[in-house]
Amino acid sequence: MSDLLKRLTEARGVSGNEDQVRQLILEEVTPLVDEVRVDNMGSIIAFKKGVKSDKKVMLCAHMDEVGFIITRIDDNGMLKFAPVGSIDPRILPSKRVKIGDKAIPGVLGIKAIHLQEPSERETAAKAKQMYIDIGAKNREEAERLVKPGDYAVFDSECVYFGDSKVKSKALDDRVGCAVLIESLKGSYPFDLYACFTVQEEVGLRGAKVAAYSIQPDIALVVEGTTCSDVPGVEPHRYSTRMGEGPAISIADLTSYSNKKLVSLLIECAEKADIPFQIKESVSGGNDAGEIQRARGGTMTAVVSVPCRYIHSPSSVADLNDINNTLRLVQEFLKGCEAL
């Protein structure tokens, strides 16, 4: 799965501009399914006909990532921008980005520290104080390369390093996309819908439309989630722990996982000797929040890959966690027919 994950994470797909990653996923899933379509929001719905059941099971992973949108070009050629999705502004200065369809290179900049007032140095800079430098000498030169409304994405190479670790942008949620693609290589008794949704990072928008259209009986969301097992964080405040397997959610700010599905996930993991953990925080949210409430409601659960430094150009995950998440999803699908 390493090559697939590299191609997925390096593809550009800021919320609202998922074209490149969508095309990549379409090329991967089309040979594996009976039907594939792109809905009006831009989400991919890949359908695999069941061999003996009309039960509908939905797998969901979002294809979009956090990034930026250009809002203004100043006279000096610098670009003002707004974040798309939740990004910690402390990580932004000096980060490289690619802008627009032509992937124009740029650097996120801020006033040099030796020009800042003492009070400015004592507080974290905000995104509105920053700009993107594309090396243009004035507005006219910049306008030949970019325009307001263009999207910018972190410029970050996928790198495998250390003890089975991977560093990249967009592990949230290209890890989930990779798991869904690999899961489509199996055959199942029920109708399987693999949904690669858009605009999750700006309000779970694609999942709401996809779930309303499909009306699944069961849904499993596969996510990349916060991993806080790092220096300076007390163990009792960890959300997940890297290397300890996929994280099964009990609840978050947008949804409660169905207890039968949580029990099935735990049972599948234990029977197949798959390491797993229970996600210990209930902060944040994901596509399950909208899928659970679609139409008459859906039995929904969430399994996630722990990712350190999430929503940054250098997120880190453990390949063993990713592979074990795939194994757990496959075992879960085997058990769905009995529900």
Looking at 125, 154, 183, the residue that finishes a domain is: 154
Question: Would you state the pLDDT for residue 272?
Answer: 97
200 part of the active site: yes
195 DSSP β-pair partners: 45, 60
Query: In terms of DSSP H, where are the helices of the chain?
Result: 2-10, 19-29, 118-121, 139-143, 171-183, 205-214, 259-271, 288-291, 319-336
Average the pLDDT over 169-188 and give the result.
Answer: 96
Q: How many domains, the chain?
A: 2
318 DSSP β-pair partners: 165
Average the pLDDT over 155-166 and give the result.
Answer: 96
One domain for residues 194 and 332: yes
Q: Helix axis angle, 19-29 relative to 171-183, nearest 10°?
A: 20
**Domain-embedded: residue 127:** yes
Cβ proximity of 337 and 268 under 8 Å: no
| CATH number for the domain that contains residue 272 | 3.40.630.10
The 10 Å Cβ neighbour count of residue 149 is 10
Q: How confident is the model at residue 114 (pLDDT cuts 50, 70, 90)?
A: low
Interior angle at CA 158, CA 229 and CA 332, nearest 5:
60
Cα of first residue to Cα of last residue in the chain, in angstroms, is: 30
- Dist CA 248 CA 294 (whole Å): 22
- Dist CA 28 CA 184 (whole Å): 10
* Whether residue 77 has pLDDT greater than 60: yes
Domain that holds residue 326: 2-65+169-336
- CA distances (Å), 244 to each of 160, 240, 318, in order? 19, 8, 9
Average the pLDDT over 288-304 and give the result.
Answer: 94
Question: Would you state the pLDDT for residue 120?
Answer: 62
* Whether residue 162 has pLDDT greater than 80: yes
pTM of the model: 0.94
Q: What is the pLDDT of residues 256-294, one digit of tens each?
A: 999 999 999 999 999 999 999 999 988 889 999 999 999
One domain for residues 59 and 105: no
Question: Would you state the pLDDT for residue 127?
Answer: 86
Question: Would you state the pLDDT for residue 131?
Answer: 96
- Dist CA 321 CA 6 (whole Å): 16
Q: Of residues 10, 28, 182, 200, which has the active-site annotation?
A: 200
**Domain-embedded: residue 310:** yes
- Dist CA 246 CA 323 (whole Å): 9
Pull the structure tokens for residue 223: 């996510």
Q: What is the pLDDT of residues 196-211, one digit of tens each?
A: 999 999 999 999 999 9
307 DSSP β-pair partners: 226
91 DSSP β-pair partners: none
* Whether residue 306 has pLDDT greater than 60: yes
3-class DSSP state for residue 163? coil
Looking at 154, 178, 203, the residue that finishes a domain is: 154
Q: How confident is the model at residue 126 (pLDDT cuts 50, 70, 90)?
A: confident
192 DSSP β-pair partners: 48, 57
One domain for residues 144 and 179: no
Q: Are strands 44-48 and 191-197 parallel, antiparallel or unpaired?
A: antiparallel
| CATH number for the domain that contains residue 140 | 2.40.30.40
**Range name among 19-28, 47-56, 121-130, 164-173 with the lowest pLDDT average:** 121-130
Choose between 296 and 303: higher pLDDT: 303
Report which residue type is found at 86. S
Strands (E), 198-276: 218-226, 247-248
Average the pLDDT over 229-250 and give the result.
Answer: 89
Q: How confident is the model at residue 119 (pLDDT cuts 50, 70, 90)?
A: low
Question: Would you state the pLDDT for residue 312?
Answer: 96
One domain for residues 120 and 237: no
**Domain-embedded: residue 162:** no
3-class DSSP state for residue 190? coil
One domain for residues 79 and 227: no
Which single residue is written with the structure tokens 């594939």? Answer: 36
One domain for residues 84 and 11: no
Chain-centroid distance, C-alpha 230: 21
Question: Would you state the pLDDT for residue 81?
Answer: 97
Which single residue is written with the structure tokens 């949210």? Answer: 285
